[in-house]
Amino acid sequence: MTGTSVEGAGNSRDERTGTGESKESLTNRQGHPVTDNQNVRTVGNRGPTTLENYDFLEKISHFDRERIPERVVHARGAGAHGYFETYGKAGDEDVSTYTRAKVFQGAGKQTPVFVRFSTVAGAKESPETARDPRGFAVKFYTEDGNWDLVGNNLKIFFVRDPIKFPDMIHAFKPDPVTNIQNPERMFDFISQSPEATHMVTFLFSPWGIPANYRQMQGSGVNTYKWVNAEGKAVLVKYHWEPLSQGIRNLTQKEADEVQSKNTSHATQDLYEAIDRGEYPEWELCVQIMSDDEHPELDFDPLDDTKLWPTDKFPFLPVGKMVLNKNPENFFAEVEQASFGTGVLVDGLDFSDDKMLQGRTFSYSDTQRYRVGANYLQLPINAPKKRVATNQRDGQSTYYVDTPPGKNPHVNYEPSVLDGLKEAEREGKDHQPHYNDKLVREPIDRPNNFGQAGETYRNFEEWEREELVSNLADALAVCHTTIQETMIDHFTQADEEYGRRVAEKLEQVKAEMKNQSNEESLGTIKSEKAVYSAQS
Ligand code: HEM
């Protein structure tokens, strides 16, 4: 099996003639030559079609099934292949101090990757200029099997409890009655979820519209663990920093201009840059923290609405990623690509970040529905190393996992009849110990507004202006209670932030009122004009 599914297909490029035309002729999927692809079979050339018209029925019924369900979130995306090269270090330390994951050991070692970038709320062909987080999902085909790092461009998230995710997405997606996206629904939810204030501060600033997929950062957002050979764990956060291509964001006006001409600008930018050999590169950095509650911090380190301050937890470079190959088939590679937060390798582990744990169920669950039970047999999702399971059958089974030379009759374990055996354990297990009541409770240090205020103050003045103006435009169409609650949240984050949004909101509302007065005046005037013309 190779990395891309189109290889090995019947009419590969090798078989093309000098004119660029393939020697191969058209067949159906049964291998029968197709001698007439222009006319269906009919009784006389004007008569009714016949039901035994196998070629036509096969062609049309496959076409009828060309679409699979789009991703419930992150439906619009683009992808590319490349590699990750480890530095063998985390900052100045040998990386093995923290993790035994093989992907990070041995400076200069390369691991193939596939990356999919995306927007979140829009449908599969929606404009790529949306004010929306961008997905940044990386599949590492490591020697120990696959590792997926499913992140976003922004370093934090809207909510910290996974039970809120479906409601959040419903509020951000179009209204179920009108099918229109509406900021009032979004801010209705956000105003009742004060932990979202920090994310909204990033999202409505220029950081909410990256210029394209190449010139943006990436982040794992949630907190993971690194485990070393002794089974000792540290908490870790991952960040992708663009190298030579830099970071670029758009103002709302710039985004509107791009969108008026091109709704696929980010996909096009990525494809064309790779096509002309301008390969985007990112450095992977980690932040590391000891695995405890850190009472000295005014937030919970497992809360994904928070940044870990870089003065206390510096970015440690661990490797770089280069994207140097475009997909050969968008559907096979990008649309069917399936990433999940549960896909970790030895030396990497889950933390108790509630969002991470909630996410981990969701991804493979949706992929079994969206792509099918055997989605891991597809070349884009299968590890590069051989797999050897006793899983069998199900829709679209493509091969069995029995390795050559093993007894194909034994699809169970344990067995003495040359079946598959359990692997040897490498390194000591990390065995966290728990002793607490099972509860449904919020966390103790929510600190919903502190970092939102810091982020506001850290922006440059033009970014603050954009933020205030974008928020006022969105809030202007919302119910007064929602407006008041949001202004209260921004004020708790930073007094100036709240005041500026309130003032701008009044200005936008007054302009909207004037405009609607002028429009109704215009209607009265034109009605009078019609009346006087008639009389
Ligand atoms: C895609 C669930 C939070 C990043 C998805 C998909 C689901 C999902 C069901 C579609 C997957 C597919 O069809 O293949 C959830 C749940 C969350 C959550 C339940 C919270 C409880 C997050 C967060 C991030 C994130 C916090 C950012 C770190 C992504 C990305 C994709 C995605 C990048 C697209 C992956 C791709 O390109 O195929 N998520 N998600 N999600 N999610 Fe989440």
Predicted local confidence at residue 401, as pLDDT: 84
**CA–CA gap between residue 258 and residue 195 (Å, rounded):** 32
CB proximity list for 107: less than 8 A, separation 6 or greater: 86, 87, 88, 89
CA angle 329, 331, 335 (to 5 degrees): 130
pLDDT category of residue 9 using cuts at 50, 70 and 90: very low
Q: For ligand 1, what atom is nearest to the CA of residue 222? A: 28
**CA–CA gap between residue 310 and residue 519 (Å, rounded):** 52
| Residue 262: how many other CB atoms lie within 10 Å | 15
Predicted local confidence at residue 526, as pLDDT: 55
Predicted local confidence at residue 493, as pLDDT: 98
| 98 annotated as ligand-binding | no
- What does the H/E/C string look like for 71-96? CCCCCCEEEEEEEEEECCEECCEEHH
- Asked if CATH classification 2.60.40.1110 holds for the domain at 77-183+209-377, the reply, yes or no, is no
Give the residue from 335, 415, 485 showing the smallest Cα distance to 5. Answer: 335
Average pLDDT, the chain: 93
Predicted local confidence at residue 404, as pLDDT: 85
Which of 120, 150, 378, when mutated, tests ligand 1's pocket best, judged by the most ligand atoms within 8 Å of its CB?
150
Answer whether residue 7 shows pLDDT above 70.
no
Measure 359 CA to ligand 1 centroid, in angstroms: 7
Give the residue from 493, 495, 443 showing the smallest Cα distance to 297. Answer: 443
Give the residue from 469, 467, 450, 470 showing the smallest Cα distance to 459. Answer: 467
**CA–CA gap between residue 64 and residue 340 (Å, rounded):** 29
More confident residue, 400 or 250: 250
pLDDT category of residue 423 using cuts at 50, 70 and 90: very high
Average pLDDT over residues 267-294: 97
Q: pLDDT digits over 359-392, tens only? A: 999 999 999 999 999 999 999 999 998 899 999 9
**CA–CA gap between residue 170 and residue 435 (Å, rounded):** 36
Determine the 3-state secondary structure of 524 from DSSP: helix
Q: Which CATH number fits domain 20-66: 3.40.50.170, 4.10.91.20, 1.10.40.50, 3.30.465.10?
A: 4.10.91.20
For ligand 1, say whether the CB of 305 is within 6 Å of any of its atoms: no
Which of 74, 132, 305, 366, when mutated, tests ligand 1's pocket best, judged by the most ligand atoms within 8 Å of its CB?
74
For ligand 1, say whether the CB of 363 is within 6 Å of any of its atoms: yes
For ligand 1, say whether the CB of 137 is within 6 Å of any of its atoms: yes
Measure 152 CA to ligand 1 centroid, in angstroms: 9
- Prior bond of 414 cis (ω within 30°): yes
32-41, 273-282, 296-305, 319-328: the lowest-pLDDT one: 32-41
Predicted local confidence at residue 1, as pLDDT: 32
**CA–CA gap between residue 261 and residue 279 (Å, rounded):** 25
Measure 223 CA to ligand 1 centroid, in angstroms: 15
Whole-complex ipTM? 0.97
Strand partners, 16: 22
pLDDT category of residue 530 using cuts at 50, 70 and 90: very low
Query: What are the start and end residues of each CATH 4.10.91.20 domain in the chain?
Result: 20-66
Answer whether residue 533 shows pLDDT above 60.
no
Predicted local confidence at residue 516, as pLDDT: 85
166-170, 417-421, 456-460, 518-522: the lowest-pLDDT one: 518-522
Answer whether residue 11 shows pLDDT above 60.
no
Query: What are the start and end residues of each CATH 2.40.180.10 domain in the chain?
Result: 77-183+209-377
Q: pLDDT digits over 70-88, tens only? A: 999 999 999 999 999 999 9
Residues catalogued as catalytic: 74, 152
**CA–CA gap between residue 319 and residue 111 (Å, rounded):** 11
| Residue 54 to residues 43, 49, 58, 525, Cα–Cα distance (Å) | 15, 11, 6, 66
Give the residue from 233, 265, 230, 231 showing the smallest Cα distance to 250. Answer: 265
Q: Phi first, then psi: what are they for 448, rounded to 5°?
A: -70, -20
For ligand 1, say whether the CB of 165 is within 6 Å of any of its atoms: yes
Among protein residues, the one with the nearest Cα to ligand 1's atom 25 is 151
Is the backbone of residue 178 left (phi > 0), alpha (psi -120 to 50) or beta?
Answer: alpha
Predicted local confidence at residue 13, as pLDDT: 41
Average pLDDT over residues 251-269: 98
Q: pLDDT digits over 445-463, tens only? A: 999 999 999 999 999 999 9
Answer whether residue 128 shows pLDDT above 80.
yes
Answer whether residue 524 shows pLDDT above 90.
no
pLDDT category of residue 6 using cuts at 50, 70 and 90: very low
Predicted local confidence at residue 107, as pLDDT: 98
Give the residue from 269, 276, 281 showing the smallest Cα distance to 323. Answer: 281
Measure 363 CA to ligand 1 centroid, in angstroms: 7
For ligand 1, say whether the CB of 357 is within 6 Å of any of its atoms: no
Q: Which residue has the tokens 């390798």?
A: 345
Average pLDDT over residues 214-229: 98
Answer whether residue 212 shows pLDDT above 60.
yes
pLDDT category of residue 16 using cuts at 50, 70 and 90: very low
Answer whether residue 267 shows pLDDT above 70.
yes
Predicted local confidence at residue 334, as pLDDT: 98
Q: Which residue has the tokens 């949630």?
A: 222
Answer whether residue 12 shows pLDDT above 90.
no
Residue pair 146/383 in contact (Cβ under 8 Å)? The answer is yes
Predicted local confidence at residue 8, as pLDDT: 33
Q: Determine the length of the chain.
A: 535
Give the residue from 17, 455, 1 showing the smallest Cα distance to 208. Answer: 455
Q: Could you tell me the two tokens for 319?
A: 């490797």
CB proximity list for 382: less than 8 A, separation 6 or greater: 1, 376
- What does the H/E/C string look like for 343-378? CCCCCEEECCCHHHHHHHHHHHHHHHHHCCCCHHHC
Q: For ligand 1, what atom is nearest to the CA of residue 157? A: 26
Predicted local confidence at residue 22, as pLDDT: 59
Predicted local confidence at residue 517, as pLDDT: 85
To the nearest 10 degrees (0 to 180), the angle between helices 450-458 and 495-534 is 70
Measure 19 CA to ligand 1 centroid, in angstroms: 45
Measure 162 CA to ligand 1 centroid, in angstroms: 11
Predicted local confidence at residue 10, as pLDDT: 36
Among protein residues, the one with the nearest Cα to ligand 1's atom 12 is 71
pLDDT category of residue 17 using cuts at 50, 70 and 90: very low
CB proximity list for 456: less than 8 A, separation 6 or greater: 201, 464, 467, 493, 494, 496, 497
Computed from CA positions of residues 249, 251, 257, 262, in that sequence, does the dihedral angle turn out positive or negative? positive
Which of 73, 223, 381, when mutated, tests ligand 1's pocket best, judged by the most ligand atoms within 8 Å of its CB?
73
List b or e across 345-366, with b for residues whose CB sees 16 or more CB atoms inside 10 angstroms.
bbbbbbbebbbbebbbebbbeb
Predicted local confidence at residue 15, as pLDDT: 44
